[in-house]
Structure 1
Amino acid sequence: MKKQKIKFLICGLFLFTASQTFAQGNGTAGINEATQMVTSYFEPATQLIYAIGAVVGLIGGVKVYNKFSSGDPDTSKTAASWFGACIFLIVAATILRSFFL
């Protein structure tokens, strides 16, 4: 009876080891596919961030023009903040794209 248990345990150990070996190949293929999917989204995401930056720039330009036309003394601070936001969006998109691709 004891030899039968040992044979059963050894058979189970080999079966477990074989299943783990087969799982390694499928995991690698899944990681490669996920990497390909993530990198395929970077180009549209970068273009979207550039478009958002353009819209933010247009809105900022209109707001700065309105402040300048009304004679508000705080115009330079507003212009600097909107310009900084646009530059940040463009630089962030470029750095993220170069970092991940």
Structure 2
Amino acid sequence: MMLVAIMAACASEMFAAGNGLAGINEATSLVTGYFDPGTKLIYAIGAVVGLIGGVKVYSKWSSGDPDTTKTAASWFGACIFLIVAATILRSFFL
């Protein structure tokens, strides 16, 4: 009788583990479904940052500001960081 009770307890734990595994797999598929739109969004943000940076650098350059190279490096560095970070995150998680 005791052996039957132990087997029933083990069987219920195995069913619970199967349901947990299914939940983890479902959560993984949901999260990976957001990576394509997320990376495209980050690429779009990088493009907007690059355009804004280009306008800022051009306005500083045409006005003769001596701080143009620092501004160019910071804006385009931010743009490159966004693109590289999105690519690395995508390759790391997928």
1:43 aligned residue: 36
The question of 1:86 aligning with 2:79 is answered yes
Cα offsets for 1:41-78 (capped at 9, x unmatched): 10000000000000100110111111111110000110
Identical-pair percentage: 76
SS of alignment partner, residue 73 of structure 1:
coil
Deviation of 1:80 (Å): 0.9
Instruction: Tell me, in whole angstroms, the C-alpha distance in 2 between the residues paired with 1:36 and 1:97.
Output: 14
Letter in 1 for 2:92: F
Question: 52-61 or 19-28, which moves further after superposition?
Answer: 19-28
What is the alpha-carbon distance in structure 1 between the residues aligned to residue 92 and residue 39 of structure 2?
A: 12
- Which of 22, 30, 34 lines up with 2:27 in the alignment? 34
1:19 maps onto 2:12 in alignment: yes
Number of aligned pairs? 93
Q: Secondary structure at the match of 2:66?
A: coil
Structure 2 residue corresponding to 1:71, chosen from 64, 75, 79: 64
Cα displacement (A) at 1:21: 1.7
- Residue type at the aligned position of 2:62: S
What TM-score do the two structures reach when normalised by structure 1? 0.83
Report the RMSD for the aligned CA atoms in angstroms: 1.4
Offset of 1:20 from its aligned partner? 1.1
The two structures have a TM-score, normalised by structure 2, of: 0.89
| 1:72 match: secondary structure | coil
* Bigger radius of gyration among the two: 1
Deviation for aligned residue 1:22: 1.2
Partners of 2:33 and 2:68 lie apart in 1 by: 41
Quick one: which amino acid aligns to residue 37 of structure 1? L
What is the deviation of 1:18? 2.9
